[in-house]
Every structure is written in C-alpha cells, then in structure tokens.
Amino acid sequence: MRKKTMLITGAAAAAVVLGGATVAGAASNQATDNQPLGGAELQQARDAALAQTGGGTVLEAETEGGGTAYEVEVQRPDGSRVEVHLDSSYRATAETPEQDDDSNQPALAAADRDRAASAALAQVGQGSVSEVERNDDGAAGYEVEVRLDNGSEVEVQVGADFQVLNQAAPEFDDD
C-alpha cells in the first residue's frame, strides 16, 4: 500500500512538473513572436523581402511564429502592400497581400509616405518610422508610428499639408 501511494504521488508530481514545463515553453515561444527586428537580423530580412518583391520600402519587420521565422511588410513602389514570410535562413516562404482597414482608400504614394515620415521624425527627434497610414479621421491626413530608441512607440498625426498636428505620449507595445 505504501509503495502504491508513493508511486501515485511520484506520478502526480511528474505530471505537475511536465505540465509546468509545457506552459513555460509555450510562454517562452509566445514572448519571441511579433518582436521588432534590429541590427543584422533586420538587414538580412529587409534584403530578402525586397529581393522577393522587386523593391519597395520596408514598413515593418518582426519575428513570427507558426513555422515562419520572420514577417516583413513591404510597400511596393506602386503603393500596394505585401507581407513577405521568411524562414530562419531568410528564404521567402510566402507573399500575401496586406489588407489594411484603409484598403478602400487610394494607395499611399511613396513620396507622401516619405514626407509624412520626415515630418513625424522631425517632431519626435529620434527613432525610426515603423508605419505610415492614410487617415481620414478629422483633419489628420496621415498617422505615423515612430519606434523610439528605448523600444516604445509614438503615434504622430500629420495633416494633409504634412504639418504635425498631434503627438501622443510614448507607449510600449503590449504584443
């Protein structure tokens, strides 16, 4: 009887330990998903994505889960957007059209994107632009997200005349 109790107790303890390890492993994998790329990793992903699309501007590059190591959002010279999925060796595995909330609006021209980005960066004074979108809410013509050197993001509203209208407080991404 004592042996049977010890065996059951040991099996229960092992189940708790293994279950905890599984949860910890899943949390660790989730923590590395959707993290912005930087340095050499960003450069390799950028080069691979632009080679796949035939040029354009990288809007966002991040780690990705589910069999894709990296996801790079590219705006082509014609204004269309695609997501390029890369494996861990920076080989393209898929290219999908990017569907935005503003997909019924005309494509954002590269020159307009650059002017809005420049205005936002001049206002913020540091960081890099992670996204520029057309915005038809109120007087703002563009919504620009700037990633600061400390990893936080600032949203800057830029008018259709490329004048800064508003700058939000820096926030850390919850993803």
Predicted pLDDT at 65:
73
The confidence score (pLDDT) of residue 49 equals: 92
Q: Which residues contact 150 (CB under 8 A, 6 or more apart)?
A: 170
And the tokens for 86? 């890369």
Whose tokens are 């936002």? That residue is: 120
Question: Which of residues 133 and 15 earns the better pLDDT score?
Answer: 133
165 pLDDT more than 50: yes
Instruction: Scan for tokens 């563009």, then name that residue.
Output: 142
Say how far apart CA 162 and CA 139 lie, in whole Å: 11
Q: Is the pLDDT of residue 32 over 50?
A: yes
Domains and CATH numbers, the chain: 39-97 (3.30.505.20), 110-167 (3.30.505.20)
CA distances 108 to 10, 57, 103, 118, 124, Å, are 62, 12, 10, 15, 22
Alpha helix (H) residue ranges in 35-126: 39-53, 110-124
Tokens of 127: 């960081």
Q: Which residue has tokens 């492993």?
A: 25
pLDDT band at 175 (very low <50, low <70, confident <90, very high): low
Distance CA 79, CA 106 (A): 9
Per-residue pLDDT tens over the stretch 98-157: 755 555 566 678 888 899 999 999 999 999 998 888 876 655 688 999 999 898 999 999
Phi, psi (5° rounding) for residue 145?
-100, 125
> What is the pLDDT confidence band of residue 17, given thresholds at 50, 70 and 90?
very low
Percent of the chain at pLDDT > 90 equals: 31
